[in-house]
Amino acid sequence: MNLSASHRMLTQLWFTTIAVLGIAVLFLAKVLLLPLGFAILFTFLLAPVVGFLERLRLPRPIAALCVILAFAGLLLVATWTLFTQFVAIASNLPTYGGNIAQKMQTLHSPSNSAYSRAQREIQKISEELGIANSTGAVPTPGQGEDSPVGSTPDHPMHVREVGRPTGRLDQLGGILEPLTTALLAVVFTFFVLLQREDLRNRLIRLSGDGNLSVMTQAMNDAGRRISRYFLLQVTVNISYGALVGIALYFIGLPDAVLFAALAALCRFIPYIGSPIAALTPTVLSLAVFPGWGHSVEIIAVFVVLEIATGYVEPHVYGKHTGLSSLAVLIAAAFWTLIWGPVGLILSIPLTVCLVVIGSHVPSLGFLKVLLGDQPVIAPYTSFFQRMLAHDKREAVNILESSLKSESLAAVYDSILIPALTLVEIERQKGKLEESTVRFIRTSTSEMVDELGFRALEERYERAQTASDSVEPANSANPAGSPKLFVIPVRDGSDELISTMLAQVLDQAGFHATSIPVQRIDETVTTVTEQKPDIVFISGMPPVAMARAHRIFRSLRSANPTLKIVIGIWHFNEDPTRAAQMISRTERLHISTSLADAIAEAGAHVEPKPAVPEPLDESPQLVATPADTAA
């Protein structure tokens, strides 16, 4: 134990050290890694075009150079067009001088609002307090009249710091870093496009020959996810720009198409692009329109669109890139902290690569768990955890979510029965209090009863709709339908699963009855009196084999021809050995799921029972209020 704990601690310390060093390298090597990241990003965009030109017999260096120059030319043309349009708008601002002067006068003129009056009163009180403080040291007449400036508090010397005028080299320093990043990105893009197969082979060689298939799948997976992200981003941004343009056109703002294009382009910078795009049309509206209403409308348009897209984008991008919605937001914050606003553009592609690595490298699987969108625990484990926390509402929500796509029997098989198995295992280990076990069994029993009631009610409603008449209560199970008894082996959990089995058998067209846990002789008497066609002995692991054997032997002694089926639910061991332990002599079939039990019941009955409706008609579970939450 001590060696294992020490090894685990050393492993955690090693991973923490590597993570800290990695973040430090990302921050300190920003000048090199940032253009390299943009180069890889541009390679995903431009590689298909370069491949197309190569298929036209154009050499790869010339094809890569032509594509890069064309891409840079498009960016320059778009930038120059926007610049000239903004210059034209600025030259027209004197036309709206009257509106600008009116708004400035409104801002500077005194107002009679409550806020303005309160502000004037506070200012008046502050001035009076200042005067009162200054009269504390009143000089005697004639004192200080001839004192030089700065010699007394009454004659202060005003000092103003004059900064050294910045030179041209200092002014160029602010644009030198972006220009360097852009130049390095262009150079890296050219060489990555030129030698992309060689770089791919080197990465595969570094991973080792034994990981050839894993590395290939990871690279294909990353390329597919990033390409899908770019396609979605272009679609969302174009739609956003179109909505902005339509709204500005109806508001009456000039050059609505220009601002729509600006909004679509700025949206490629997540989260901060929209405020930047909203600033220019808002400022222009202050000059163009005489009142404030149009400016408020423009701000409202951008706020509404940003709220809508801000909610939709993480879900859409996360669903199609394999990232959770929270991971999209965390990635944006992390890469912005490391590389500044430019890191926003690379945040999702880089995080996608981390998730892909975690999906294909087992030792880095925690990346997929932390950032991926796949459920990290099975639904039955989540249901069990919520029941341990006494959170009935969320447990009900788990069942409701599964019932939307699965049948009632499948939900019982995949969620409730495995969860009850976990409860039984933990109870026998002594890890659960009896009060918790009682709460879980009682709550689950209420859910099962509600599901059975809803299933029966929906069946009657469908039958009434089909025949336009109210059918009698026993119409779901005609008189000729086979009669089945379900006998729980040991305790309340077995009895609860017996109720589930009776419900799904009822839906399958049988007349099934679950009898409560009682003494074996009472059970045999009940079966002998009722004379069912089939008897199910239902238990869950760890099954009390001795009691199951006694029940089977007693039933067989009372009726040698009785058809008996054994159900051991969610049983992962050898069912043949379990059958031998229960029957000792006969060859019995062990059903491990409710679906298999339905099929086995049908195989023992001739002719097959008529199914009143498909089993995939799942009832909707009515949510019950939570008792307590974790």
392-467+474-604 has which CATH code?
3.40.50.280
Tally of CA atoms within 13 A in the half-sphere of 384 that contains its CB: 20
- The string of pLDDT tens digits covering residues 445-496 is 889 888 888 777 776 776 676 665 444 444 445 555 788 889 898 878 888 8
Torsions phi, psi for 397 (to 5 deg): -60, -35
pLDDT in tens, 104-147: 766 665 556 565 666 677 777 777 666 555 555 445 555 545 55
Cα separation, 32 vs 354, in Å, equals 20
What crossing angle do the helices spanning 343-360 and 325-339 adopt, rounded to 10°?
120
176 vs 148, residue with greater confidence: 176
Three-state SS at 85: helix
CA distance 352 to 72: 26
Burial class (CB in 10 A: 0-12, 13-18, 19+), 182: middle
Answer yes or no: is pLDDT of 150 > 70.
no
Q: Is the pLDDT of residue 622 over 60?
A: no
CA–CA gap between residue 190 and residue 42 (Å, rounded): 10
Q: Indicate the length of the chain as a whole number.
A: 630
Task: Give the span between the Cα atoms of 89 and 87, in whole angstroms.
Answer: 5
- Give Cβ neighbours of residue 593 (< 8 Å, ≥ 6 apart): 413, 569, 570
Give the 3-state secondary structure of residue 284: helix
The letter for the amino acid at 547 is R
Residue 526 contacts residue 574 (beta carbons within 8 Å): no
Q: Which two tokens stand for residue 313?
A: 């984008």
* Encoded tokens for 133: 């403080």
Nearest Cα residue to 319 out of 361, 357, 348, 350: 348
Local structure of 538: helix, strand or coil: strand
Confirm if 380 and 367 have CB atoms less than 8 A apart.
no
How high is the pLDDT of residue 242? 92
Q: Which residue has the higher pLDDT, 301 or 218?
A: 301
The set of residues, in sequence order, having a beta carbon less than 8 Å from that of 504 and lying 6+ positions away, is 408, 409, 412, 594, 597, 598, 615
| Residue 243 binned pLDDT confidence (cut-offs 50, 70, 90) | very high
Give the up-direction half-sphere exposure of residue 439: CA atoms within 13 A in the CB hemisphere: 18
Q: Kindly report, residue by residue over 54-112, the tens digit of the pLDDT.
A: 888 888 889 888 988 998 888 888 888 888 888 888 777 777 777 677 777 666 655 56
**Per-residue pLDDT for 417 more than 50?**
yes
The DSSP letter of residue 561 is T
Q: Which secondary-structure segment (H or E) carries 506?
A: helix 492-507
**Mean pLDDT along residues 346-352:** 86
Instruction: Compute the average pLDDT of residues 231-247.
Output: 89
Is residue 158 over pLDDT 70? no
Q: Max alpha carbon distance in the chain (Å)?
A: 131
Cβ atoms within 10 Å of 235's Cβ, excluding its own: 11
Percent pLDDT > 70 in the chain is 80
Tell me the Ramachandran region of residue 531: left when phi exceeds 0, alpha when psi lies from -120 to 50, beta otherwise: left
DSSP assignment string, 131-191: HHHHTTSPPPTTTTTTPPTTSSTTSPPP----PPPP-HHHHHHHHHHHHHHHHHHHHHHHH
CA distance 427 to 502: 25
Separation in Å, CA 326 to CA 304, 314, 372, 604: 21, 8, 10, 52
Instruction: Give pTM, 2 decimals.
Output: 0.63
Q: How far is CA 230 from CA 233, 267, 317, 419, in A?
A: 5, 12, 10, 41
For 485, the 3-state DSSP assignment is strand
What is the per-residue pLDDT across 366-382, written as a single tens digit (0 to 9) for each? 788 888 877 778 888 89
pLDDT of residue 629: 37
Contact between residue 415 and residue 383 where contact means Cβ atoms under 8 Å apart:
yes
**Domain parsing of the chain, residue ranges:** 24-95+175-194, 195-371, 392-467+474-604
